[in-house]
Amino acid sequence: MVGGIAGLWGAFIEGPRIGRFDRTGRSVALKGHSASLVVLGSFLLWFGWYGFNPGSFLTIVKNYGNNGRDYYGQWSAIGRTGVTTTLAGCTAALTTLFSKRLLDGHWNVIDVCNGLLGGFAAITSGCSVVEPWAAIVCGFVAAWVLIGLNKLAVKVKYDDPLEAAQLHGGCGAWGVLFTGLFAKREYVEEIYGIGRPCGLLMGGGGRLFAAQMVEVVVVCGWVTVTMAPLFYGLNKMKLLRVSRDEESAGMDLSRHGGFAYAYHDEGDDESVRTLGFMMGRIEPAGSVSPSAGEMTNTAPSM
């Protein structure tokens, strides 16, 4: 949630990217996404989440000693945490896959990857204290939270290229509240100690759910107080966003020295020349000069 709410303020102060919305206010899908890299990154995060959720236990060899069940201990909780993490993420991914197909009329792998991560963000709060069936509920709702917040973002012309606020902030907030609803007393006491409250829907009353609601409010307030002035100051010092010319040319070219994608639009060359340089092929030392019609390096000498 901290990162999501911080991203909310950063994107809000920074404003939409050039061309993100047309003159009528309609949303425009911008180019530049590599679906292959998005999928690769999602799998890397998926793998890392097993270190984040099950790996957050400080000990493994700890017997709970429940009714002589020597086979049952902290290692069981770690295994359960891995299962709930997997179920929530996969449920959110599948829900997003078919829901977006029904809403938009086509399949979109990038949306599926974001749905997967939304499920992971949501289950992280209560991954060790909920049943596997509850993790499926968590992932299903997380997918719709993400879809709904993305629809709202377009409606209010809010541009968050990474969906950080919607995914980490929105799905993270749902996960905190989800724990207050579905935390099982047995699991809570095993991991956090006797006498701790459990979920509202699991017979624990409203204490834990009330505490979780307070946590959501406190996180939102704390991040707003710390991050909003920071992004506002960076924006005033013109450190938050590149110039309009650099953004139009593309930061791959204007800041990183090369093209990352192979497409070409009319007018691209003109926007590049505005910055005072043109990227071209640089021949190795001692090679034969390129023939007529081949691209040459036209970058100015230093």
The residues near 286 (Cβ < 8 Å, ≥ 6 apart) are: none
pLDDT in tens, 197-235: 999 999 999 999 999 999 999 999 999 999 999 999 999
- Span 69-96, average pLDDT: 91
The residues near 199 (Cβ < 8 Å, ≥ 6 apart) are: 130, 179, 180, 181, 182, 183, 184, 208, 209
The residues near 209 (Cβ < 8 Å, ≥ 6 apart) are: 177, 180, 181, 199, 200
Q: Which two tokens stand for residue 206?
A: 């409203």
Q: State the Cα–Cα distance between residues 42 and 163, nearest whole angstrom.
A: 14
Task: Say what the pLDDT of residue 72 is.
Answer: 76
pLDDT in tens, 160-182: 888 999 999 999 999 999 999 99
Task: Give the H/E segment covering residue 161.
Answer: none
pLDDT in tens, 258-302: 776 665 555 555 544 444 444 444 444 555 544 444 444 444 444
pTM score over 0.85: no
Task: Say what the pLDDT of residue 62 is.
Answer: 78
Task: Say what the pLDDT of residue 298 is.
Answer: 41
Burial class (CB in 10 A: 0-12, 13-18, 19+), 252: middle
